[in-house]
């Protein structure tokens, strides 16, 4: 009986947080459970810095576990571990709250899954990690147990389960085609498989849900703001990346590329614009995440090297983490500390907007290399909407109510650290991550390219201010509000919805028809419906080959 082969460190990366998470059942650990958050990501950080020498396997576990660390995954592993650590530091501010041992347990479990996604070398381990991160994160979303959080949690769990199911089906098609559980074999086999179209569709749905890809993003703007600040940071910065990594690990090269680009760009622009209708800073950030993930999805669709996408994702994770934490930090800071926090948030926001010389500017320049002119132009153009939404976020953040004036160091430190990391880390890892040198990003042309979107955005904002065109405020939830919130409460009243009593059936059909009519009306006046139709057409074309 072989327990494992190869280096033990990758296994330890996963086992360690799992053990910490389980340890909260011990009465002796419970009162100090929050402290565990600081320890949990340590082995992962170490592994990311050091790199793995060879694959590790645990042949008797599950259906044979295989762990390996690709360069792109290593980038993300490091970012994710760092972000979890920073968020863990910030989470210390929750001390004294309710249900902290449950929070800690599931925090560690979510972390395990999150890390596992980057380490998995076989499909089953990947699926297990993916399911773990998806489902355990639900506990982070609903931690506050407010009505809003529970409602967001319902939407979240429904979509998460649907995503799991789609993924499993897609994986099975791939595994059967490859007759192997290894991810690399499966990706190769999937390109030739008879059910390729179906598998690709299922995988895109499954990963798209997690990555917040339009139109599967509906849970994200609800769930991310509902969670406690520290959890929001990891949700938006780290956990969504699980979907992204899935896309590049499993999609056969070129599959549904145009479709992914279209959907990605729809998200990149649309979500950022819709974000302008939000008032809650966290909701604005959530829409910004959808928007940024859209860019990354489009990059995957265009066939960009995994490492370049990972590079972009590293920056986004760090910056988004900093921004979310800043929401929490600003709320409890007064006086000069508040100013410092706002400045940090501002720097992170500028970096996300892609200001030259910031990390964001760097990664944007890096991913545009080698893209078609149109895509490069579009990516540049997202800078306009991103700048607008970031500006709007800063504005709302500055106006946020102050609930305390004594921000403690573990609330301020992570914000600053993550901001600095977002600005600096891309430049540090660039030489190792990418083939092209950073010089390109510092060239005049690149800087000029990066300057004009913020300028346009600024001009737009000024015009809007001048005309007193404030954004229309809406509750979060866009599409979902139409489709689910008004739909019959299947979730809470299964009997009513599924009974075969003829009278009820008739009533159900009547109501369903009425709903469809309502949706129809909305689709008619909805601004981007044309894009939706285009997406469907593209999807069909690609599924038919």
Could you list the residues that contact another protein (CB under 8 A)? 1, 59-64, 124, 127-128, 131-132, 135, 142, 145, 150, 157, 161-162, 164-166, 168-169, 172-173, 175-177, 195, 198, 490-492, 494-495, 498-499
Looking at the Cβ atoms of 177 and 363, the one nearer to another protein is 177
Cβ 417 to another protein shortest distance, Å: 35
Looking at the Cβ atoms of 65 and 433, the one nearer to another protein is 65
Cβ 146 to another protein shortest distance, Å: 12
Assigned token pair, 348: 């992170």
Write the CA distances from 186 to 55, 129, 174, 177, integer angstroms: 17, 17, 5, 7
Is residue 151 within 8 A of residue 249, CB to CB? The reply is: no
Looking at the Cβ atoms of 200 and 283, the one nearer to another protein is 200
Which residues are bridge partners to 182 per DSSP? 122
| Rounded Cα distance, 363 and 265, in Å | 17
Instruction: Note the helical H segments in 332-408.
Output: 335-353, 359-368, 373-399
The shares of helix, strand and coil residues in the chain, as percent rounded to the nearest 5, are 75, 0, 25
Cβ 138 to another protein shortest distance, Å: 10
Looking at the Cβ atoms of 149 and 418, the one nearer to another protein is 149
Cβ 59 to another protein shortest distance, Å: 6
Cβ 33 to another protein shortest distance, Å: 16
Helix (H) or strand (E) holding 65: strand 65-67
Looking at the Cβ atoms of 150 and 514, the one nearer to another protein is 150
Looking at the Cβ atoms of 132 and 291, the one nearer to another protein is 132
CA atoms within 13 A on the CB side of 168: 9
Q: For residue 6, which of 45, 37, 47, 62 has the smallest C-alpha distance?
A: 47
Looking at the Cβ atoms of 121 and 301, the one nearer to another protein is 121
Listed in sequence order, the residues at least 6 apart from 468 whose beta carbon sits closer than 8 Å to its beta carbon are none
Cβ 129 to another protein shortest distance, Å: 9
Assigned token pair, 244: 């992204």
Looking at the Cβ atoms of 101 and 411, the one nearer to another protein is 101
Assigned token pair, 466: 């001048």
Cβ 128 to another protein shortest distance, Å: 4
Residue with token string 């809470």: 492
Write the CA distances from 92 to 105, 225, 328, 464, integer angstroms: 15, 19, 12, 41
Cβ 188 to another protein shortest distance, Å: 17
| Rounded Cα distance, 98 and 516, in Å | 42
Looking at the Cβ atoms of 132 and 288, the one nearer to another protein is 132
Looking at the Cβ atoms of 157 and 276, the one nearer to another protein is 157
Per-residue b or e along 429-447, where b marks 16 or more CB atoms closer than 10 Å to that residue's CB:
bbeebbeeeeebbeeeebe
Cβ 157 to another protein shortest distance, Å: 7
Q: For residue 491, which of 154, 229, 85, 262 has the smallest C-alpha distance?
A: 154
Cβ 284 to another protein shortest distance, Å: 29
């Amino acid at each position: 009986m072989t327990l494992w082969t190869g280096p033990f460190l990758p296994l330890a990366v996963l086992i360690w947080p799992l053990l910490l998470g389980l340890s909260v059942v011990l009465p002796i650990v419970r009162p100090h459970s929050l402290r565990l958050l600081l320890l949990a990501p340590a082995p992962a950080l170490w592994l990311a810095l050091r790199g793995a020498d060879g694959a590790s396997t645990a042949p008797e576990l599950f259906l044979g576990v295989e762990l390996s660390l690709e360069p792109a995954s290593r980038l993300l592993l490091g970012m994710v571990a760092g972000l979890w650590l920073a968020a863990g530091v910030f989470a210390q501010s929750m001390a004294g709250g309710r249900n902290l041992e449950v929070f800690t347990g599931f925090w560690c479990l979510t972390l395990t899954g999150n890390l596992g996604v980057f380490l998995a070398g076989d499909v089953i381990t990947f699926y297990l990690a993916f399911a773990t991160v998806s489902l355990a994160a639900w506990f982070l979303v609903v931690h506050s147990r407010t009505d809003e959080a529970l409602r967001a949690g319902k939407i979240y769990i429904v979509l998460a389960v649907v995503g799991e199911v789609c993924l499993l089906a897609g994986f099975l098609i791939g595994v059967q085609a490859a007759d192997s559980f290894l991810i690399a074999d499966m990706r190769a086999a999937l390109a030739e498989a008879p059910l390729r179209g179906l598998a690709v569709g299922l995988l895109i749905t499954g990963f798209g849900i997690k990555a917040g890809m339009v139109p599967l993003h509906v849970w994200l703007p609800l769930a991310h703001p509902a969670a406690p600040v520290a959890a929001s940071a990891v949700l938006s910065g780290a956990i969504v990346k699980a979907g992204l990594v899935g896309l590049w690990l499993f999609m056969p090269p070129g599959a549904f590329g145009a479709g992914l680009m279209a959907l990605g760009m729809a998200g990149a622009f649309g979500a950022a614009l819709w974000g302008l209708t939000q008032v809650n800073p966290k909701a604005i950030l959530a829409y910004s995440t959808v928007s940024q993930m859209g860019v990354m999805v489009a990059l995957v669709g265009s066939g960009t090297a995994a490492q370049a996408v990972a590079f972009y994702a590293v920056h986004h994770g760090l910056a988004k983490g900093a921004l979310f934490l800043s929401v929490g930090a600003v709320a409890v800071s007064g006086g000069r500390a508040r100013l410092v926090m706002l400045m940090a948030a501002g720097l992170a926001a500028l970096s996300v907007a892609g200001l030259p010389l910031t990390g964001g500017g760097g990664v944007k320049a890096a991913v545009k290399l080698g893209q078609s002119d149109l895509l490069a132009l579009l990516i540049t153009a997202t800078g306009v909407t991103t700048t607008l939404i970031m500006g709007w976020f800063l504005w709302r953040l500055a106006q946020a109510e102050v609930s305390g004036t004594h921000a403690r160091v573990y609330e301020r430190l992570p914000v600053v650290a993550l901001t600095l990391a977002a600005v600096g880390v891309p430049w540090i890892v660039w030489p190792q991550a990418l083939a092209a040198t950073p010089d390109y990003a510092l060239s005049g042309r690149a800087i000029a390219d990066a300057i004009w979107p913020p300028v346009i955005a600024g001009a737009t904002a000024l015009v809007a201010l001048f005309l007193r065109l404030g954004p229309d405020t809406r509750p979060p939830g866009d599409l979902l509000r139409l489709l689910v919130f008004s739909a019959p409460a299947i979730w809470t009243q299964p009997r009513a919805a599924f009974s075969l009593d003829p009278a009820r059936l008739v009533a159900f059909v009547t109501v369903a028809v009425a709903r469809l009519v309502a949706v129809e009306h909305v689709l008619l006046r909805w601004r981007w419906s044309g894009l939706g139709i285009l997406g469907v057409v593209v999807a069909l074309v690609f599924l038919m080959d």
